[in-house]
Amino acid sequence: MQLQPGVEFDVISAHGKPFKSAIIEITSYDGRPQKAYAPFNRFSDGGTLLFLGHLQGEVLRAKQVREMRTDIRLAGLPQENVIAPAQNRQQPGGERGYAYFGPAQAVQAGAVKVLVDPKTPEWARETVLDTGTKVAQYYEKAYQRPLREELFITVSIGSDEKPGLSMNGGAVLGQLAYHFSGSQLAGDHPKKREMLVRLVAHEMAHIWQLNTARGGVGGKDQWIHEGGAEAMALDAIQQSGVASAESVNAYRAAQTAACEKLGNSVETYNGIYACGLMRFDQLGVGIVPLWRGLIEATEAKGEPYSEQMVRDVAAAQRTATAAALGSGG
């Protein structure tokens, strides 16, 4: 725990006797909660990603909330390869991403490290890598920021027994974890590629939102980073040529209709995305200069993205645009 040195001290005890180590067994949970990182991501070859962030966070001590300071060291079973997630730069001992345990080795692909499940269908592998490369190049240029650390991308494949197609992604500090499952995963189709292109660009947008020395994504106002990632993704896939204008327009129209059905509210899970996107569309400011400004603002202030920040940055840019138009003649 984060205690004040010299003022507070603590002894971990069981029945009054201090001890220095303990073993905790964790039952695996393969569900995929909607609003939290999946605790486990399984690969078809027995590999597993474990989300370390769920072992970190706050604790209660004498009815007071304390930050827990975790120093995690990883050791696999014999024969198991272990890949540790990056340290939390912003907060020493703070939340970290997925640790990998399993038989596979990561491969270096350009500036990123990749670990792809051997069961990944070719169309999905190609789309993740190709879109990932092009969109990352676009974001780096548009947002004028190279990534602060090497990106580690994983693709894991779940059961093909359930009907339909499920494609999930999770972006954490320096990491992107994709998980695909369902009977419809096999077989190439343009519609499936379109969905995956959007998912990749969306998750990649989070990586840039998190690519700051301070501030970044907070726990509140989810529509900002989710709706923002939607808007950044649509811009990126169209500008970098991985999606057509028609495909982008059709998706935007569908999301706009979905948001109207939800009463223009960002209070529901779907509303965070659909109405979040609409809010950015309606700001009347270009998404690239807007998010460039937001990333600068979160870093300068050391505060997470907020509604007030969006309003301030948008207002400043409207003023700047008006001034430029005025002097341009």
Footprint on this chain of Zn ion (rule: CB under 5 A): 226, 229
Q: How far apart are CA 197 and CA 318, in angstroms?
A: 31
DSSP 159-227: -S-SSS-EEEEEEETTEEEEEEESGGGSS--HHHHHHHHHHHHHHHHHHHHT-SSS-B--SS-HHHHHH
Closest contact distance (angstroms) between CB of 133 and Zn ion is: 20
Q: How far apart are CA 278 and CA 227, in angstroms?
A: 8
Provide CB contacts within 8 A for 271, sequence distance 6+.
223, 259, 262, 265
> Based on CB atoms, which residue is closest to Zn ion, 49 or 83?
49
> Based on CB atoms, which residue is closest to Zn ion, 115 or 229?
229
> Based on CB atoms, which residue is closest to Zn ion, 168 or 238?
168
> Based on CB atoms, which residue is closest to Zn ion, 12 or 254?
254
Closest contact distance (angstroms) between CB of 273 and Zn ion is: 8
> Based on CB atoms, which residue is closest to Zn ion, 83 or 177?
177
Q: How far apart are CA 234 and CA 248, in angstroms?
A: 6
> Based on CB atoms, which residue is closest to Zn ion, 185 or 229?
229
> Based on CB atoms, which residue is closest to Zn ion, 196 or 229?
229
Helices (H), the chain: 122-142, 190-209, 222-239, 245-261, 269-281, 287-301, 307-328
Q: How far apart are CA 216 and CA 222, in angstroms?
A: 12
Q: How far apart are CA 54 and CA 42, in angstroms?
A: 16
Closest contact distance (angstroms) between CB of 227 and Zn ion is: 9
> Based on CB atoms, which residue is closest to Zn ion, 83 or 243?
243
Q: How far apart are CA 180 and CA 170, in angstroms?
A: 12
Q: How far apart are CA 155 and CA 278, in angstroms?
A: 30
Closest contact distance (angstroms) between CB of 262 and Zn ion is: 17
Closest contact distance (angstroms) between CB of 137 and Zn ion is: 20
Closest contact distance (angstroms) between CB of 7 and Zn ion is: 41
Are the C-beta atoms of residues 1 and 68 closer than 8 Å to each other?
yes
Q: How far apart are CA 19 and CA 40, in angstroms?
A: 30
- CA contacts within 13 A on the Cβ side of 311: 3
Closest contact distance (angstroms) between CB of 39 and Zn ion is: 18
Closest contact distance (angstroms) between CB of 104 and Zn ion is: 26
